Amino acid sequence: MSRPRAVFFGSDAIALPLLDWLVGPAGAALVDLTAVYTQPDRPVGRGQQVQANAIKRWALERGLPVHQPEKLTPEVRAAYVAAPPDLALVMAYGHILRDDFIAAAPLGTINFHASLLPGYRGASPIQSSVAAGERETGVSFMRIVRALDAGPVADREAVPIGPLDTALEIEQKLAAACVPLLARALPRLLAGGLDFAPQAAAAATFCRKLTKDDAALDFAVPAVALAARINGLNPWPAAQVDWRGQPLKFGLADAPAGTTTTEAAPGSVLGADAEGLLIATGAGVLRVRRLQKPGGRMLAAAEFLRGSPIPPGTVFASRPMPPLVAAQPFPVTPRTAG
């Protein structure tokens, strides 16, 4: 008996572990991955050289057909619907899938969303959950519908968020978490025994696509909240302050236990300890553990301060911090599936 044919829609390296599982012994025994849809090659880095993304490179190395439509035009959709796969899997694709795409695969069009739905629907669930100070996130295995990440969910794989985890570390944890989730859910899906339950819509929260404006820090905010936001915005857009007329990026932070509000104005540098630069806030002391100046590398605070001292009494100006999470969807902007 032939295996069901599967295609994958995705454009981000977070999906590589699940793809490796799909073509490995366990996954290949269940489905035949026949093609990959991903974003067109884009300019990358300072040199803006056009490069293939990690998903395309992975597929080509394994001899899989790769489709890179700039837009899902009626012609693209008609070709897909005319010869649909049995199953479509999606993670961080970059195009909105229309109803004809969603309905084409008889076994379903299934998305891996990088949050524990119904929380953090939207475009930046990893960064926003870390920035909000959550202690847990995860991946949800859900059917795609046209509404924003509102489809029914069959299973979730939880991932803890450590106090010094940045969005980068959490993305790596979530990538790994896709494997046990898929290994658990896929056999049941193919056997017809996987139930998809509606989300609790009243409990939904929403996040949006990040912008450079989100790098702002308001030191009147408590240190705990500032540390979470700094960690959540690493590596991009990276929280930053103005220092000597140039942007100074903060890459990792915490709020040391036992510190209390000081008499210094929020944003005032209090000094440094062995782990980082100490800054007064509206409640407690913020300790910045990694810093980066323009043209340099992100360095541990002790190394950075040896070469570029920041004297006590320096005051970093505050800027309003745009909200990252809301109880209602943010104004409509182009978004990615996944």
Give the model's confidence band at 332: pLDDT under 50 very low, under 70 low, under 90 confident, else very high: low
Q: Whole-angstrom Cα distance, residue 230 to residue 241?
A: 11
278 backbone dihedrals φ, ψ, rounded to 5°: -105, 130
pLDDT 10s digits, 267-313: 999 999 999 999 999 999 999 999 999 999 999 999 999 999 999 99
Q: What is the pLDDT of residues 60-72, one digit of tens each?
A: 999 999 999 999 9
Rounded to 5°, angle at Cα 233 from 230 and 238: 85
Run of H or E including 24:
none
Structural domains of the chain sorted by starting position, each given as residue range(s) with its CATH number in brackets: 5-206 (3.40.50.170), 212-307 (3.10.25.10)
pLDDT given at position 308: 96
d(CA 167, CA 172): 9
Q: What is the mean pLDDT of the chain?
A: 95
DSSP 238-253: --EEEETTEEEEEEEE
pLDDT band at 338 (very low <50, low <70, confident <90, very high): very low
Residue 1: per-residue pLDDT = 62
User: What are the residue ranges of helices labelled H in 121-263?
Assistant: 125-131, 167-190, 223-232
**Is 261 a residue whose pLDDT tops 70?**
no
What pLDDT is recorded for position 262?
72
Question: Is pLDDT above 80 for 260?
Answer: no
Pairwise CA distance, residues 280 & 261, whole Å: 7
The C-alpha atoms of residue 255 and residue 282 are separated, in whole angstroms, by 12
The predicted structure's pLDDT at residue 335: 43
Residue 72 CB neighbour total at 10 angstroms:
18
The per-residue pLDDT for 45 is 75
pLDDT in tens, 197-234: 999 999 999 999 999 999 999 999 999 999 999 999 99
Would you say 53 and 43 are in contact if contact means Cβ atoms under 8 Å apart? no
pLDDT of residue 263: 86
At residue 216, the pLDDT reads 98
Tokens linked to 249: 């990026």
Q: Which of 207, 104, 66, 106 is nearest to 149 (CA)?
A: 207
Please state, for a pLDDT cut of 70, what percent of the chain lies above it. Answer: 97
The model carries a pTM of 0.94
